[in-house]
């Protein structure tokens, strides 16, 4: 089913790109389809869904009792106190996790069909079918960034009106919720703060993105494990009291992390991402970048920096919505051109490559073959 969904999304997107016409209504229908797939999935869809439902109902995750982040525990207790069924629980979680994200993409992206398609085919969308905590954290983080855009674009504090102040305070609350929902979002929030104080031009990213990519390919970033160990030690000391983050450092099939297989995974995951970022940088080098675009470029570098980390996708997941918005915005002028431009051709290749990789990833996960309400 998911292969057909990817094919349909790609066909709709390619037609819209070739005709150089966007349609908010079609984009809204595509976003609604993604939302319903997450909200109406069965308890057997995704290896972790049944465990999260068990934790919601009985406070037990799998075979052990876990001490999750405080906001996630409060979230579960609050929804359970409301008497929600398992289905209602998944729907409410979907509203926050993927509903917030899709609404921000729909509002902020210059080409809505392209942005929604990118979200499905290029950025680990399948994790929404299993990873509840981090996806909830992504929802809060994405909405928090959206509320912070006005503050990022301020030229003078004289323009800091009351509505902008309210949105800024709301953003801080949402970002705090995102960290207390899943603590790997600490890195995303740190990057967001960094962007506010350091806004380099395209040359900074145009040099460092290839350098970090080459370091990742040649395995020269062994400090990633030590850095993550420090982060998780901090988390266990101040936010949770469970030593469950060791599996993040030790996780992954050892055979997958060997030799040629590692190089294959790096090229499959990182090469298209790095290439598209460099294309965007090259063709937009004379413009001033938005908050979404800065976070997109940092996402690519952090994906390279943490490439040896077994769960590197967790580090970059919070930035996926920013990537969709940024790419759609930066290539829009070339989509609108009457001639068949090089950026448009490269974008089509990127979409087809991402769609193929996503289809292969989903086909390798038998849990995703169950029907929605099964």
Q: Which domain does 150 fall in, by range?
A: 2-369
**Is residue 300 in a domain?**
yes
Whether the pLDDT of residue 93 is over 90: the answer is yes
Whole-number pLDDT of residue 238: 56
pLDDT in tens, 24-83: 999 999 999 999 989 988 887 877 888 888 888 887 776 555 568 888 889 999 999 998
pLDDT band at 251 (very low <50, low <70, confident <90, very high): very low
Mean pLDDT of 5-34: 92
Average pLDDT over all residues of the chain:
82
Distance CA 318, CA 355 (A): 20
- Please tell me the least confidently modeled range out of 86-90, 95-99, 179-183, 236-240: 236-240
Q: Please report the pLDDT score of residue 343 as a whole number.
A: 85
Number of domains in the chain: 1
* Bridge partner list, 64: 61
The answer, as to whether pTM is greater than 0.85, is yes
Whole-angstrom Cα distance, residue 29 to residue 43? Answer: 25
- pLDDT of res. 368: 53
pLDDT at 250 over 80: no
DSSP letter string over 109-146?
-SSHHHHHHHHHHTTTGGGGGT-HHHHHHHHHHHHHHH
Residue 192 lies in a domain: yes
Give residue-wise pLDDT tens across range 252-292: 444 334 445 566 667 777 888 999 999 999 999 888 899 99
Q: Is residue 374 part of a domain?
A: no
Integer Cα distance of 200 and 16 in angstroms: 33
Q: Which residue has the higher pLDDT, 199 or 161?
A: 199
The whole-number pLDDT of residue 120 equals 92
For residue 20, pLDDT over 70 is answered with yes
Q: 13 or 68: whose pLDDT is higher?
A: 13
8 Å CB contact between 69 and 133: yes
Backbone CA torsion sign across 253, 34, 351, 188: negative
Domain-embedded: residue 81: yes
pLDDT at residue 107 greater than cutoff 50: yes
Domain assignment present for residue 62? The answer is yes
């Amino acid at each position: 089913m998911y292969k057909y969904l990817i094919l349909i999304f790609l066909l709709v997107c390619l037609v819209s790109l070739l005709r150089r016409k966007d349609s908010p209504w079609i984009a809204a229908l595509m976003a609604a389809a993604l939302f319903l797939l997450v909200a109406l999935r069965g308890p057997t869809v995704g290896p972790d869904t049944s465990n999260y439902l068990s934790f919601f109902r009985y406070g037990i995750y799998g075979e052990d009792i876990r001490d999750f982040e405080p906001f996630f525990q409060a979230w579960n207790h609050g929804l359970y106190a409301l008497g929600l069924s398992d289905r209602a629980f998944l729907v409410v979680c979907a509203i926050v996790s993927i509903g917030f994200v899709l609404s921000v993409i729909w509002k902020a992206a210059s080409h809505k069909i392209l942005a929604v398609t990118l979200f499905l085919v290029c950025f680990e969308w399948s994790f929404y079918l299993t990873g509840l905590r981090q996806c909830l954290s992504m929802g809060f983080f994405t909405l928090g960034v959206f509320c912070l855009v006005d503050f990022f674009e301020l030229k003078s504090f004289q323009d800091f009106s009351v509505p902008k102040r309210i949105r800024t305070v709301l953003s801080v609350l949402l970002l705090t919720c995102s960290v207390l929902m899943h603590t790997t979002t600490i890195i995303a929030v740190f990057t967001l703060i960094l962007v506010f104080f350091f806004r380099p031009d395209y040359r900074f990213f145009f040099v460092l993105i290839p350098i970090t990519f080459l370091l990742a390919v040649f395995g020269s970033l062994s400090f990633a494990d030590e850095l993550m160990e420090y982060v998780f030690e901090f988390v266990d000391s101040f936010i949770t009291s469970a030593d469950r983050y060791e599996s993040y450092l030790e996780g992954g099939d050892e055979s997958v992390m060997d030799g040629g297989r590692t190089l294959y995974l790096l090229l499959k995951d990182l090469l298209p991402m790095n290439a598209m970022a460099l294309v965007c940088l090259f063709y937009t080098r004379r413009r001033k970048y938005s908050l979404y675009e800065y976070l997109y470029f940092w996402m690519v570098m952090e994906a390279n920096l943490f490439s040896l980390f077994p769960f590197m996708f967790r580090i970059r997941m919070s930035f996926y919505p920013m990537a969709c918005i940024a790419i759609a915005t930066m290539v829009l002028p070339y989509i609108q051109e009457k001639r068949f431009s090089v950026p448009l051709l490269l974008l089509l290749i990127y979409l087809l490559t991402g769609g193929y990789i996503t289809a292969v990833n989903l086909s390798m996960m038998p849990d995703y073959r169950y029907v929605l309400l099964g």
